[in-house]
Amino acid sequence: MKAVTVSEYMTRQLVTFTPETSLYEAMGVMLERRVSGAPVVDDAGTIVGVISEIDFLDAMLKGAYYGQLEGAVGDYMTHGAETIDAQMDLYEAAKLFIGARRRRLPVVEGGRLVGQLSRRDLLRAIRDWSTPGS
């Protein structure tokens, strides 16, 4: 079987935010687009963190006293992010998912965010490369 790379199955149309994006705006976009997390990038397109549903819950609990969700994505995001290279072998990427129990991993090329690989993307690859009954 030929080597298949992450770039062949990653999602390229991503929801991303900057650290300055308001929490309220980011939450609205994530709800509208039905995603549970998104990469946070700087002006150069370099990933600086990830914001997820759990980060919004944390912000809500911290802001409960005031009864509103305030602040920016950069105040509550998980700083830094485990990333994978676009040219990584898909088999190696699958092993990372199993070991880390992640839903998705940001994909970089030359230090810039170019996509995201999810468990669902891996399932598509398995379906595409498997033959029924074998």
What pLDDT score does 6 carry? 93
Angstrom distance (rounded) from CA 93 to CA 74: 28
Residue for token digits 């994909």? Answer: 107
Token reading at 75: 């105040």
DSSP letters of 13-32? S---B-TTSBHHHHHHHHHH
Q: Strand pairing of 84-85 and 104-109? A: parallel
Give Cα 29 to chain centroid, integer Å: 14
3 state DSSP class of 2:
coil
State the pTM of this model. 0.80
CATH class of 6-129: alpha beta
Could you tell me if 11 and 124 are in contact, meaning their C-beta atoms sit under 8 angstroms apart? no
What pLDDT score does 58 carry? 85
What pLDDT score does 62 carry? 79
Token reading at 50: 């990830």
What pLDDT score does 16 carry? 94
Domain-wise residue ranges, the chain: 6-129
Cβ neighbors of 30 (< 8 A, separation 6 or more) are: 15, 36, 37, 38, 51, 53, 56
What is the chain's pLDDT, residue by residue, as a tens digit (134 residues)? Answer: 467 899 999 999 999 999 999 998 999 999 999 988 899 999 988 999 999 989 988 888 877 656 666 789 999 998 988 899 999 999 899 888 887 777 889 999 988 899 999 889 999 988 888 766 54
